[in-house]
Amino acid sequence: MAAHKRAQHYVEREFASAENELSEAVKVVIDESLRQWMEAKKALKSHKKADVARVTSHKFCAILLNAGAHYVTKLVDQGLLKDDEAEHWVREIEEHLEHLLSCELENHPGEMHLDVLDDEDTGVESGRDKDTAFELPESTK
């Protein structure tokens, strides 16, 4: 949702002073973006905050894991990692992805929690306690 806001401001700033025809097209794009933003806001508010935070967190983890798998492939393509070494890492990433798909936990052992996430535009909070805002593993305390 923040991306929609940033994109709207960027488009307005970059194209607002152009020809009238272009400015009208910019208005259409911004209006559509605003409409989609309102729909997303409504959809998010229809779910429990904890559920939104859990799903968002797990989606973010899936993105990172997939990026890691692509990076391993890139290292193999560049000759910086052998196929058998890459196979180990890809298998481990796949195991994490499988666990992620079935995971319904909100808090995970060793997880580093951030402060309460509060998006003013959506009113969605992570539901995390400020007392557990940043947990370090025991070995680093």
Predicted confidence (pLDDT) at residue 65 exceeds the cutoff of 90: yes
Q: Which among 106, 110, 107 has a CA at the least distance from the CA of 54? A: 106
How confident is the prediction for the chain on average, in pLDDT?
A: 76
Domain boundaries, the chain: 2-45, 49-140
Q: Which one has a higher pLDDT value, 76 or 133? A: 76
In one-letter notation, the amino acid at residue 3 is A
Which residue type is seen at 36? Q
**Alpha carbon distance 26, 71 (integer Å):** 37
pTM of the model: 0.55
